Structure 1
Amino acid sequence: MSAAEKMSRRDEMETLLPFYLNGSLEGAELEAVEEWLATDPAALAALGEAEAEFSSTAASNEAIRPPADALSRFARALDAEAGPARAPAASSWLAQAWGRFTAVPAGVAWAAAAALLALVVVQSFEQPGGMDSDFEIAGEQGDLAKMPFA
């Protein structure tokens, strides 16, 4: 058996008393605690102990409450430590170029892409050097390509 199963009804009700006192119990648990308080004479003694502990805890918390101006003093100290605010850094040339590039209207971008595609297509059909070129491509002549490598 687990520890939760071994708890007696009294132990279970006593663990719920702090929640009963602060008003956070609802539903079946609230009804069970109220019924236990109404039927068990020892329950009122347990309730009195829980109320005493609850009130002493609340009083202790009130005693250690920070001063009213603590938050403003902390904010001033933090501002003094941080120093003056810096101006934002200028963006790099790459970021500026990217910003200008992405600011181009879509129609202009498509026109530039079409012109670039046309240039690539024309270059793929054009022979290097034109018709009367002054250079030779290695291995173009069959006899040189068949010679043994020395």
Structure 2
Amino acid sequence: MLAETVCSAVAAAGLGIAAVTAYRKRFLTATRIAAYALVPAGLVLTGAVAWVAGTAFSPSAWAGFGVLGLAWVLFMTTRTIERRRGTRKERAAAAPEAVTGSARPAVGGSTGAGKAAQAPAAGKKQSGGDDDFSDIEAILKKHGI
């Protein structure tokens, strides 16, 4: 009897804290606090103390399972929203770096990358010289490659 009273008081206090947090416009945090607060209430309603006596035929037990399910749905909803927001922020932060990284030409000094880039250009020049590679050849000559 005392355990159920304590769990109910903790649940009520947690829901009060969630209400104050929601009033401060921190809805995701308030939802998470409400989910944590509903867990003790769900455990009380399931009759964890008298589990064997009548769980299968007790309407309050099924209501407790429903409350636990609601708490789980709230947890998963907040996690999904946070993941989506985090992904968009990461994409927005990474987008300028990706554009600047791919737009920069790879210039090889002593690494041998310059020779590898020069070989296909030289091969095209020998096979008749396409106009498509004339710009690339001009850039390579400009950089001394």
Report the TM range for the smaller structure's normalisation: under 0.3
Structure with the bigger RCO (C-alpha within 8 Å, sep 6+) is 2
Larger of the two Rg values belongs to structure: 1
- State the TM-score, normalizing by the size of structure 2: 0.27
- State the TM-score, normalizing by the size of structure 1: 0.26
Q: When you count helix as a share of all residues, which structure comes out higher?
A: 2
